[in-house]
Structure 1
Amino acid sequence: MTNATPTHETDEEEPEDDHLADIEEGAGCTEIWEHLSEQRDDD
């Protein structure tokens, strides 16, 4: 029997999601878009 689970580590980095920290869990696309748009306006 073969093991289908990869045994090597990958060099993949964790995605950066700090810009989403203020968004409530369960927010939809519109809420996320509005939040990101407001952040761009502030810059």
Structure 2
Amino acid sequence: MSDQDHDDDHLESVPVGAGCTEIWETLSERRAEEESDAEKELNVEEGSDPSDPADPAD
């Protein structure tokens, strides 16, 4: 596999020289943020907002 065939855009925010722990932390944090954003988007589409204390759907 050549470098041109390799997609490593997901590693752009990982510092050069980072070890395994830093890489896993960065990717895990990004995944958690994406899941949280997707969950918020789903809640908005369904008409409830868990971050709104006045929302009776909670």
Q: TM-score range by the shorter chain?
A: 0.5 to 0.7
* Matching residue within 30, 33, 36 for 1:42: 33
Return the structure number with greater relative CO, CA threshold 8 A, min gap 6: 1
Per-residue CA shift, 1:1-43, capped at 9, x if unaligned? xxxxxxxxx8xx6111111001111100000000000011011
| TM-score under structure 1 length normalisation | 0.64
Of all paired residues, the percent bearing the same amino acid is 53
CA distance in 1, matches of 2:9, 2:20: 17
1:14 alignment partner in structure 2: 5
Alignment coverage as a number of residue pairs: 32
1:7 alignment partner in structure 2: none
CA distance in 1, matches of 2:15, 2:31: 19
Q: Which has the higher helix share?
A: 2
SS at match of 1:27: coil
| TM-score under structure 2 length normalisation | 0.49
SS at match of 1:41: helix
Moved over 6 A (4+): none
Q: CA RMSD in A?
A: 1.8
